[in-house]
Structure 1
């Protein structure tokens, strides 16, 4: 795998280096340099200017964050990163030939195993993007950070099934880098903090506006 940093001594038996090389999507502290994130940032990825504000771009982003994150499927550059429809997704899966489910979906992508995280979620995401219109939501504006996060996590259960708080937060951040969502403010950060006043004070102390 190619990264924009020195990946260290590949012959080293240091357990930390070994772990970082083996599962960088999960453990690499520089999230923008992780392999599947790099893949999604490319010109044919869902966060490109061409796709970031479209239904199929958003659907593809949901598929990545909700199903394929950290998998061999997501990191294989011969596989599509944008799916124009549910049928397009199915054709991409078929083109991979016989594979174990883990090739497409890591149930422990964000920590503990989630038995409900399966490739079947893709069908639900396509249906959800029809009912909850991303293109109308974002329009041509820069969406406030918390507004986007709340939109992604709305509903009980959430409109975008199994997209938990962490994945929704990360997806919101993805759209910040894509130029669709505004950078988070102190208020946005404190929205998710238990001790709002203390958090605000500490952030201002270190120079954040």
Structure 2
């Protein structure tokens, strides 16, 4: 590599870390020289090691954000810094969530979150705009009065469809499109009525994922929206046992990682509850948990989902 190439690479790395730092709360920017520790093994551990292994992964993932990107022990660290929405175990620290929460008049604000307009915009966020250049560009509250206002936004920006809608935001998804906004708007009043009736967390997920009124909102996307609404105070937070039931029902990334790490010998729900208890009882320090999320159990689920992106099963031996 010649000197000019090295300089360009160094500049790119610095720019990436500057962007990451700008996204973080001040308390997370205070750590600059993390202690390097051993990386989690990609081999399946024994049951006694599994909780500690996951705690190490979460701790190292936090240091991915707060430390030097050139001094990381996690595999895929460079890729993760380029695609934080895809890799980061801490949902509230990822760029798309930080952007959508950055405006006091956004869809998840106390003023808007229970209104048809706010819920329409929440559906647009999860069902269209998540992990896109349009969202990252900002310049908007991303709370739209209705589908006509969203269409006007698209026309004003005048960019290709891919700029506004990432068809693989959560993996390949058939039918993900800006055209779904019209259907989302028609369904938003009914969704507002459900929240008015104090719909429960799991009930909300099952309702949205089973309805044809929310195209592309399968179990995963409905779950993510439900968690967004818990953070916004529109749905009651589930207990760890209730969340474990949902993780078992979803049977997706989190459940697969629990089984892979042998955290769930008695079932996914029990394994999830036990892992959360281990982490809360000292597996991660109180300060580490506070840096991750105010609702830590959601980050446990999110981290379990992201684990396989750092340690793909195909690499195990």
- TM value normalised by structure 1: 0.84
Evaluate the alpha carbon distance shift between residue 79 and residue 154 of structure 1 in structure 2; reply closer, same or farther with a 3 A threshold: same
Q: Which residue of 1 aligns with 2:204?
A: 148
Instruction: Answer whether contact 1:153 1:159 (CA < 8 A) is retained.
Output: no
- Find the aligned partners of 2:243 and 2:96 in 1 and give their Cα distance: 26
CA positional deviation for 1:198: 3.0
The size of the alignment, in residue pairs, is: 201
Residue 72 of structure 2 is aligned to residue 16 of structure 1: no
The equivalences for 1:49-88 within 5 A come to: 49-88=110-149
CA contact (8 A) 2:167 2:173 kept: yes
Higher relative contact order (Cα pairs below 8 Å, separated by 6+ residues): 2
Query: Residues 129 and 17 from structure 1, CA distance in 2 versus in 1: closer, same or farther, beyond 3 angstroms?
Result: same
Match of 2:248 in 1: 193
Structure with bigger helix share is: 2
For the structure 1 residues 19 and 203, does the alpha-carbon distance in structure 2 shift closer, same or farther, using more than 3 Å as the test?
closer
Q: Deviations over 1:142-177 (max 9, x none)?
A: x4211211221233xx32111111110000000110
> Does the C-alpha gap of structure 1 residues 91 and 205 become closer, same or farther in structure 2, counting only changes over 3 Å?
closer
> How far does the alpha carbon of each residue in 1:38-69 deviate from its partner, in whole angstroms, 9 at most, with x for none?
11223122111011100010000111111110
Indicate if the aligned counterparts of 1:39 and 1:45 stay in contact, CA closer than 8 A. Answer: no
Whole-Å separation in 1 of the counterparts to 2:105 and 2:174: 30
Deviations 1:100-148 (A, max 9, x none): 211100011001x224111111122112225xx122211174x421121
8 Å Cα contact 1:57-1:83 kept in structure 2? yes
1:3 is aligned to 23
Q: Mind listing any 5+ residue stretches in structure 2 that lack a counterpart?
A: 1-18, 30-64, 250-263, 281-317
Computed over aligned residues only, the root mean square deviation of the Cα atoms, in angstroms, reads: 2.7
Where 2:76 maps in the other structure, the secondary structure is helix
Q: Is residue 79–residue 92 contact of structure 1 (8 Å, CA) maintained in 2?
A: no
SS across alignment from 2:23: coil
Instruction: Indicate how the Cα distance of structure 1 residues 17 and 202 shifts in structure 2: closer, same or farther if over 3 A, else same.
Output: closer
| CA distance in 2: counterparts of 1:21 and 1:65, whole angstroms | 21
Q: Which of 10-19 and 83-92 deviates more?
A: 10-19
Residue 122 (structure 1) aligned to one of 147, 170, 181: 181
Please list, as runs of the form range in 1=range in 2, the aligned pairs for 1:130-209 lying within 5 A after superposition. 130=189, 133-139=190-196, 141=198, 143-155=199-211, 158-185=212-239, 186-193=241-248, 198-205=267-274, 207=277
User: Could you say which residue in structure 1 is the equivalent of 2:109?
Assistant: 48
SS at match of 1:84: coil
1:83 to 1:204, Cα distance in 2 relative to 1, 3 A: closer
TM-score (norm 2): 0.57
For the pair shown, which has the larger CA radius of gyration, 1 or 2? 2
